[in-house]
Structure 1
Amino acid sequence: MGILSFIKEAGEKLFSAASTPANAEAAPAAPDLAALNKTAGDAIATYIRSQGLDATNLQVTYDGASHTVTVSGEAADQPTKDRILVAAGNVQNVDKVDDQLGVTAPAAAPTQFHTVVAGDNLWKIAEKYYGSGAKNGVIFEANTPMLKSPDKIYPGQVLVIPPVQ
């Protein structure tokens, strides 16, 4: 548990920047910030579930002022938890994910995360973490269904790097 950092300008576009609470102060009428935060949190929760990911009592909240998503509940296992956290963080206008998600069956080895930079590809990332680019499929599988293709990663995206089996 803790805070994971993301790049808020990168990621899935689930809601427009104009409708996020942080940009609401510039609007002429005072919007209901709690309602905007709830709408954004609900959109992120829907996105997580659309990826085939879920957890018991999954709760997702969004704070537009700090660009932070808080995720709570109980995931079945560590890989599911990691995918939920990455899915929540790889959303545009999300800067941090507050991990309050428990795990029914914890993993023995800790998970690592990698923030993609320009020039990265899964082969290079696998070489960095595993010593062999041929293990790039392990990273791809750990990040599906968020990754649709091993060739489609982008700078700022955060990937799960599972422990070597």
Structure 2
Amino acid sequence: MAIWDFVKDAGKAVFGKAEAAPAPAAPTAAAPADAKAATADPEVQRKVAALKAELKALNLDGDDVHLRLRGDTVIVESKGADREALEKLILAVGNIQGIAKVEADLPPEAPQPVFHTVAKGETLSAIAKAHLGDASKYNAIFEANRPMLSDPDKIYPGQMLRIPPQQG
């Protein structure tokens, strides 16, 4: 599995505030403290549901998309998604406030995706000039990041964007 780092404190806030809940009981010898126990945690379930709701809002929620949350890391699994869809899934969940890493399997024969983290003051035109050699190709970056981007002027520092492959 490949791992991508994101800016944990940047991104869309989808988790909201947790309702006051009783502190979880300490694990006992009869209750294993493993990954299965973590998925039973109501807070983890609430956050996974919020991530799935965000994917649904972006129309990226295929039947075969499975998410697991381990601390501030999301593990994305999808057997049927093509490369572009999987890259969009990685970015959609990684650009959520509170998520620091995303793990996912990309086809081994495919080149690694090119992602760019937006710096303060950057524009899509400047990013296009740096990555694609032509500022006027900003729309290619915008389209490669739909539906996460709704406007080419609405990007923010810390946001990670997908850079499309250069067309001959």
Identify whether the pair has TM-score above 0.5, normalized to the shorter chain: yes
Please name the residue that 2:93 is paired with.
Answer: 88
CA distance in 2, matches of 1:86, 1:77: 14
Please name the residue that 2:30 is paired with.
Answer: none
Matched residues, number:
153
Q: How does 1:25-104 map to 2 (within 5 A)?
A: 29-31=22-24, 34-64=41-71, 67-100=72-105
CA distance in 2, matches of 1:129, 1:136: 10
> Greater Rg, structure 1 or structure 2?
2
**Structure with greater helix share of residues:** 1
- TM-score after normalising by structure 2: 0.82
Q: Is the 8 A contact 2:68 2:75 kept in 1?
A: yes
Q: Matched residue of 1:159: which SS?
A: strand
**Structure with greater strand share of residues:** 1
Q: Write out per-residue CA displacement over residues 133-156 of structure 1, whole angstroms, 9 at most, x where no aligned residue.
A: 011111000001110100000000
CA distance in 2, matches of 1:139, 1:107: 23
CA distance in 2, matches of 1:42, 1:57: 15
- TM-score after normalising by structure 1: 0.83
Relative distance call for 1:59 and 1:140 in structure 2 (3 A) is same
CA distance in 1, matches of 2:120, 2:109: 31
Please name the residue that 1:152 is paired with.
Answer: 154
Q: Matched residue of 1:164: which SS?
A: coil
Q: Is the 8 A contact 2:64 2:80 kept in 1?
A: no
- What's the offset of the Cα at 1:108? 5.2
- What's the offset of the Cα at 1:119? 1.0
Q: How does 1:108-119 map to 2 (within 5 A)?
A: 109-119=111-121
CA distance in 2, matches of 1:43, 1:28: 18
CA distance in 2, matches of 1:85, 1:11: 13
Q: Is the 8 A contact 1:77 1:107 kept in 2?
A: no
Q: Is the 8 A contact 2:115 2:161 kept in 1?
A: yes
Q: Write out per-residue CA displacement over residues 51-96 of structure 1, whole angstroms, 9 at most, x where no aligned residue.
A: 01134521112223xx111111224321111111100100010000
Equivalent of 1:132, from 131, 134, 137?
134
CA distance in 2, matches of 1:113, 1:142: 11
Please name the residue that 2:34 is paired with.
Answer: none
Give % identity. Answer: 38
Relative distance call for 1:53 and 1:152 in structure 2 (3 A) is same
